[in-house]
Amino acid sequence: MTALTSSLEITKLAHEMHVDEADLAFLAASSPDDLRELRGIVSHAMFSRHESRVKGLAAVSTKLPAPVVAKITELAMGPMLSARVAAVMDPVDAAKLAGHLKPQFLAELSVHLDPSRVKGIVAKLDQAVVVDIGRRLLAAGHVLTLARFTGVVSPEVSLQVLEGASGAEILQVAVFLDDPSVLDPILADLSDETLAAVVAATADHGEAADALLAALSAENRARIAALA
């Protein structure tokens, strides 16, 4: 189980570094906790390199009308730089700007975001916009990004994002959760039919699914056992 969760952590680290996870395979001997800590160090190092210029951009953005900033953001800055700027913006300003950006651009930007840095912004966005972004991420196969955001949105939003998702898609998101406990309230509100589809998909995920199931509440485990 540890080797498997280490492998999931390697996938997350590779995503953070934009490298092939096979290049990091040698790290499999490390514990999941050590790899999570390393990911935090790498993420901070990457983020800090441009922090002063990013803060300057965030300051400039408050001096111009939001529709103008939105146009520059979408046409010139692109998702990566925009994600860096969003992470240091005042949540009120960032949420106002987000209202002028296309949902597809917001979805692309989300892939480059560290959700823990933008909790305040996500909380101020219209719920329908967050659900739209989540569904776009799911459709594009960004299950890792979706899993990271599941920790900063309400179970209600997660349920709406996952509405219509296959059991396999839900399971893919679930195995990448940093904190599996956020899954309990989501699973509790899934229909029996959807939960049965998730359980059926666990057959293809072996130990990953076992690790996940072990982290669930007794109530959810009992319900799953009854459905299996």
Partner 1 sequence: MSEGLDRLAATLGVPTTRLAPLEAYDDEQLRRFDDLTQGAMRAEDEAFDASLNQALRMVPKMLRGVVQRMLGGAR
User: Contact region for partner 1 (CB under 8 A) — 48-56, 99-107, 184-192, 215-223?
Assistant: 48-56
- The angle at the Cα of 119, spanning 68 to 83, to the nearest 5 degrees, equals 40
Contact status: 25 vs partner 1 (CB under 8 A):
no
Site for partner 1, residues 93 to 152, rule: CB under 8 A: none
Nearest to 9 by CA among 26, 28, 47: 28
Contact status: 65 vs partner 1 (CB under 8 A):
no
Nearest to 58 by CA among 85, 78, 83: 85
User: Contact region for partner 1 (CB under 8 A) — 21-29, 98-106, 169-177, 203-211?
Assistant: 21-29
Binding residue for partner 1, selected from 37, 163, 189, 204, defined by CB under 8 A? 37
Instruction: Say how far apart CA 1 and CA 4 lie, in whole Å.
Output: 5
Q: How far apart, in Å, do the first and last CA atoms of the chain sit? A: 21
User: Contact region for partner 1 (CB under 8 A) — 4-12, 15-23, 90-98, 197-205?
Assistant: 15-23
CA atoms within a 13 Å half-sphere pointing along the CA-CB vector of 60: 13
User: Contact region for partner 1 (CB under 8 A) — 27-35, 139-147, 163-171, 197-205?
Assistant: 27-35
Q: How many CB atoms lie within 10 A of CB 190?
A: 19
Instruction: Say how far apart CA 51 and CA 56 lie, in whole Å.
Output: 9
> Site residues (CB under 8 A) for partner 1?
17-19, 23-24, 26-27, 29-31, 34, 37-38, 41-42, 45-46, 48-50, 52-53, 56-57, 59-60, 71-73, 75-78, 80-81, 84
